[in-house]
Amino acid sequence: MSGELKVIAGLNLGQREKIVLLKVGDKQLLVGVTPHTISTLHVLDESIQVSESDTTGYQLFATKLKNAMNKERNKS
């Protein structure tokens, strides 16, 4: 791991809850964030490609996330 930690994108789910896509080294993690806890929801096998302009469009991120999660489920 290179020690790199970067927030790639996020999606608000409520007033104080959100999911965040993080890059940690060469891996991507989906985490849930609430006022009291941060939980790893999923470690992605394949990275979701998000450009700088995508991070401002929550709907685009949500669509990419949904597609990636469906792809993961279909592998099982």
Q: Which tens digit of pLDDT belongs to each residue from 61-73?
A: 667 777 777 776 7
Convert the pLDDT of each residue in 16-70 to its tens digit.
999 999 988 889 999 999 999 999 999 988 888 776 665 455 566 667 777 777 7
Q: What is the pLDDT of residue 37?
A: 95
H/E run at residue 7:
strand 5-12
Q: What is the pLDDT of residue 65?
A: 73
Q: Which residues on adjacent β-strands are paired with residue 33?
A: 18, 38
The predicted model scores a pTM of 0.67
Report the half-sphere exposure of 29 (CA within 13 A, side-chain side): 15
Q: Is 31 left (phi over 0), alpha (psi -120 to 50) or beta?
A: beta
Indicate the SS3 state at residue 40.
strand
Backbone angles phi, psi at 31, to 5 degrees: -120, 150
What amino acid is encoded at 55 in this protein? T
